[in-house]
Amino acid sequence: MPLLYYWKPENYYRDLDFGASYHLNQKNPLLHEIEVGDSLWAITRNRKTGRYVLAAELVIKAKTFNPEGFRYGKYRIWGSLAASRYFDINNQPDAEPIVRALTSIKANATFLGQAFQGYAAVRRLARADHLILLEASRDYGLEKRADNKISEQNLEGALLYGKPQDIQSLVEEEAVGLSPKQQEYLFTQAPARNRQFAEELQLLYVGRCQICQWDPLSIYGFNLCHAHHIQWLSRGGTDGIENMILVCPNHHGAIHRGDAPLDFGSRSFLFEQHSEKITLNHHLSF
């Protein structure tokens, strides 16, 4: 079942400034009725023109629960990096007539945004309405700031062990879509913060993997586990210990290769065919 989501403009613009996230949150459990492989269409309002526009089509790859008390709601969906699209909202026609004509929406409010308040920010879409949006967006240009296919594992390594010029070179080579604000943060503040948090995690877990409990410190006498950002920095993740986990190199590589999100409901990283549960936890809000 496809969905239509009203993305508040301030949230939309913030997400692009700090890394296109390819995920959305809501308090309405309807968000989790969407099936993996279906599309969530997001509309927002262009600040410059005042027009309602199609912001994105997220093709769902996973559904997770957020930590208790998360400010944006309990429910989260994740879009596939390969299949999802963020649209250039500055070079597309007014989407309001299209949205008002969708049979499953019935947006009768004077101002379109009024029809998407509170829980109504996420709405079911009939399959025929999904096809209408698919056809309407067929030739839309894509948002360059969402072209953030940077290797987050390489970025984490550069932040923890590299020099500022290493980070800058990596971003310039791989992540042309990162906004200037996000790039400035990665070049200046992030390295020192990440090293501090990584050291805290090593001390807190005595160097052990929080998933499999591999203990290199007792075996080899030195730390080999890695600090991993649960929500990637290049996708708007916060830079703090509450967004980090200590994992062995094997689990770190698998999480990145599988683009596995953390479900705070099951306390597990979700892979395509199975999940990996966190077995050691002294700092995350479960």
Is the overall model pTM greater than 0.85, yes or no?
yes
CB 266 within 8 Å of CB 195: no
For residues 13 and 126, state if they share a domain.
yes
Mapping DSSP to helix (H, G, I), strand (E, B) and coil, where does residue 27 land?
Answer: coil
Q: How many domains does the chain have?
A: 2
Q: What is the CATH number of the domain that holds 111?
A: 3.10.590.10
Q: Which domain holds residue 30?
A: 3-145
CB 70 within 8 Å of CB 95: no
Alpha-carbon separation of residue 199 from 182, 223, 237, 248 (angstroms): 24, 10, 19, 15
Mapping DSSP to helix (H, G, I), strand (E, B) and coil, where does residue 79 land?
Answer: strand
For residues 174 and 240, state if they share a domain.
yes
Helices (H), 4-64: 9-17
**pLDDT tens column, 197-244:** 999 999 999 999 999 999 999 999 999 999 999 998 878 888 889 999
Domain final residue pick, 145, 165, 192:
145
CB 90 within 8 Å of CB 43: no
For residue 134, being part of any structural domain is answered with yes
Q: How many helices (H) and strands (E) does the chain have?
A: 9, 12
Q: Mean pLDDT throughout 257-283?
A: 96
With 80 as the cut, is the pLDDT of residue 274 above it? yes
Binned at pLDDT 50, 70 and 90, residue 189 comes out as confident
Binned at pLDDT 50, 70 and 90, residue 90 comes out as very high
Phi, psi for 198 (deg, rounded to 5): -65, -40
Structure tokens at 68: 């208790």
**pLDDT tens column, 128-155:** 999 999 999 999 999 988 886 678 888 8
Domain final residue pick, 129, 145, 161:
145
**117-126, 139-148, 181-190, 205-214: range with highest mean pLDDT:** 205-214
In the chain, what percentage of residues exceed pLDDT 70? 98
What is the per-residue DSSP string for 224-242? --EEEESS-GGGT---SGG
For residues 41 and 127, state if they share a domain.
yes
For residues 239 and 271, state if they share a domain.
yes
Amino acid at 194: N
**Where are the extended beta strands (E) located within 18-162?**
23-26, 39-45, 52-65, 75-79, 85-86, 122-124
**pLDDT tens column, 93-113:** 999 999 999 999 887 778 888
With 80 as the cut, is the pLDDT of residue 120 above it? yes
> What pLDDT score does 175 carry?
62
For residues 134 and 156, state if they share a domain.
no
Domain final residue pick, 96, 112, 145:
145
For residues 175 and 269, state if they share a domain.
yes
For residues 56 and 155, state if they share a domain.
no
